[in-house]
Structure 1
Amino acid sequence: MKTVMISHERLDRFAGQLLPRRTARAFADVANRRTAADYDTVVCTTAFARAEFDRIGATNIATVPLGVDLQTFHPGRRSFLVRHRFAAPTQILLVHCGRLSVEKRADRSIDAVAALCDAGVDARLVVVGEGPMRARLQRQAAGLPVEFTGFISDRRTVATMLACADVTLAPGPHETFGLAALESLACGTPVVVSRTSALAEIITTDSGASAGNNPFAIAAAVRSVVSRPEHDRRACARRRAEAFTWQQAAAGMLIALGARDGQPGVSRYADEAIRLTEADSPFTA
């Protein structure tokens, strides 16, 4: 039986939050050598995610990007009534969607909206998610045009929030993929991401922007994105998301599990997996 491990985090980056950089890297290299030796295949979702395995010379690494549900996360989810609930037509509506934990750096999204306001930009931020940092983030956001929704369990509601935004923010510097950002693109909403994360591979210059890890760079990137015609930037965002289908992701995973590329069953099983997740959507890609 073939054994496969999916690497969800950059261990060197995670350890680097607690240890000196060289120590963190050495620790990660030892652990990753053991991991690579223990499994037939290690699956990474991006070049950024696999870089620490490439560094140690591991040869059993497969890159399989994730996909996005292009039916649930769709520009058709945009609702002017919902948008009006959070922002006026002339305001820039920003959304930060994700767990409120340290590594997601929602604090930078809050600081970015403060920087925009200081520069005279009429912007509002909605933070979607729950986590251990919420109370601290709410204190940080006091007096700013920031609203917290808490955790939203319904994916359609999340999709509506993303589709209603002018720009979504994904400032986490260590993301190994960033599915929420890809879901935003699928909704036709461009994303400003950290240039030190894997999302810099996902975002193109016409579907969003990569920014430095500081609020002023994020704010400048937001202003650059919204300066483009809305129809163009939304169309480009959606088109970028369409390059990441769950059919491709499922087929890639089946190949990593030992199926042969081009084997008839690969496409059939991948399509069936997607059908089960998307059958109840009213939208088509």
Structure 2
Amino acid sequence: MTLRIAQLANFVGPVSGGMRVAIESLGQGYVAAGHERILVIPGKEDTTTETENGIIVQVRAPRISRDYRMIAKPWRALEVLDRFRPTSIEVSDKWTLSPAARWASKRGIGSVLFSHERLDDMLSGWVRAQFGVETAVGALNRRLVKEFDAVVVTSAYAAEEFADLDANLWHVPLGVDLETFHPSVGSPADDGLVKLCYVGRMSHEKNPELGVAAAIELHRRGRPIQLNMYGVGPDLERMRAQAGDAPVVFHGFVKGRDEVARRFAASDISLSVCPSETFGLAVLEALACGTPVVTSNRGGAHELVDPTCGDYGTPDAVGLADAIERVMARLGPDLRLAARARAEQYTWQASIDRMLQLHETLAHQVPNRPVRRPAPRHRTENPENL
């Protein structure tokens, strides 16, 4: 059976990180397996583009920040679904695109919610308090699990948010491009400094300031380190001020996955310190390059790091600095080989196969009317003008 899978997402732009990589990798895998794929995302204007990896539909949407747009009128995304009539939908958004579940239910089409973030911990971090957050998130999640046929989580930590909600949970760990991210693309310089790196968005929901705080603590202890920060975001200037005279260098956005791989491979230790990360693609990318990882002792990223390939500590300056020092004492070829071996346990093909199993299950449970693909209304050579 040939599937026609529609992926819907907000917050996907030129500088997006893990979620965009996940959506693109899964979508490419669907097409490679002989299925049809439609990607619906916000854009500067309405465009429909046929590519080798499926049809990309941008829905004109307002900016909500310098880097991101959000489809504020969900009915416009639903109109796209009406045009293409997918056999199932995969929604990577819990906000304005969640009405797609009701659209699918009315038409006998299977629906999947791909949970990329854990709202209770993320929102409690924003408001700096837990009071009221659990109640609000609990109510939202109860509605979501009733409306979607299945919910995909990438880690045990992500699954905890849906405990006791009678959700149809599918555990699908993500993968890593083991060819692009490879130890052969680089190695740390032998200059007497232990090179630390952080690759990700410079925004409070990712807690990059914890990496800076750990570097400051190591500098205070007299350790010969340099922390290289790669990424952009609203908290960048605040962290520059936080770093002060500590050896922290902010490099900005790194364009291209090949260059990101080289930066990982040139580091002795990679930091992925967010305690509310549901998975941590950057962890796998670093490990695939042979770079050990230090992370927080809770969250999805923690599940990817075992004693063979890194360490973890409490999400504060002292706890993370202690973990970094423990890894520093073990640096060498054996540790880099172990890091690579850990990453090799997570392939995109395994993720794609599991997701296709889910979509095929839904397609058989809710038969869909066969329809012809309509011709695109708009064409553009570059689908990335978000």
**What band does the TM-score fall into relative to the shorter chain?**
0.7 to 0.9
Query: Which segment is superposed worse, 1-10 or 20-29?
Result: 20-29
CA displacement, residues 46-102 of structure 1 (integer Å, 9 cap, x when unaligned):
111111112x332311010000000000001115xxx54xxx521100001100000
* Of 81, 95, 119, the match for 1:11: 119
2:196 match: secondary structure: strand
Structure 2 CA distance for partners of 1:229 and 1:171, relative to 1, 3 Å: closer
Matched to 2:342, the amino acid is: R
The answer to whether the Cα contact below 8 Å between 2:264 and 2:291 also exists between their aligned partners in 1 is: yes
Consecutive unaligned residues in structure 1, runs of 5 or more: 261-285
1:258 match: secondary structure: helix
Query: 1:37 — aligned with what?
Result: 146
- Are 1:52 and 2:161 an aligned pair? yes
1:96 match: secondary structure: strand
Give, in angstroms, the shift of residue 229 of structure 1: 4.4
* Of 205, 219, 227, the match for 2:321: 219
Partners of 1:175 and 1:33 in 2: CA distance: 21
Report which structure shows greater RCO (CA 8 Å, sep ≥6): 1
CA displacement, residues 110-139 of structure 1 (integer Å, 9 cap, x when unaligned):
111111111121000000000001111111
Query: 2:354 — aligned with what?
Result: 252
* Of 244, 247, 254, the match for 1:145: 247
1:3 match: secondary structure: strand
Partners of 1:229 and 1:24 in 2: CA distance: 41
Runs of 4+ in structure 1 deviating by more than 4 angstroms, as ranges, are none
* Of 60, 71, 75, the match for 2:179: 71
Structure ranking higher in strand proportion: 2
Consecutive unaligned residues in structure 2, runs of 5 or more: 1-108, 363-386
Give, in angstroms, the shift of residue 225 of structure 1: 0.8
- Are 1:243 and 2:351 an aligned pair? no
TM-score (norm 1): 0.85
The correspondence of residues 169-208 of structure 1 with structure 2, limited to 5 A, is 169-208=271-310
* Of 237, 240, 257, the match for 1:135: 237
Matched to 2:181, the amino acid is: F
Task: Look at both structures and tell me which one has the larger radius of gyration over its CA atoms.
Answer: 2
1:148 match: secondary structure: strand
Q: Determine what percentage of the aligned residue pairs are the same residue.
A: 37
Give, in angstroms, the shift of residue 180 of structure 1: 0.8
Partners of 1:194 and 1:19 in 2: CA distance: 18
Query: 2:169 — aligned with what?
Result: 61
Structure ranking higher in helix proportion: 1
2:110 match: secondary structure: coil
The answer to whether the Cα contact below 8 Å between 1:2 and 1:258 also exists between their aligned partners in 2 is: no
Give, in angstroms, the shift of residue 22 of structure 1: 4.7
Matched to 1:161, the amino acid is: R
Matched to 1:71, the amino acid is: E
The answer to whether the Cα contact below 8 Å between 2:145 and 2:165 also exists between their aligned partners in 1 is: no
1:238 match: secondary structure: helix
- Are 1:28 and 2:130 an aligned pair? no
Aligned length: 253
CA displacement, residues 241-262 of structure 1 (integer Å, 9 cap, x when unaligned):
00100010101111121359xx
Structure 2 CA distance for partners of 1:140 and 1:20, relative to 1, 3 Å: closer
Partners of 2:331 and 2:201 in 1: CA distance: 31
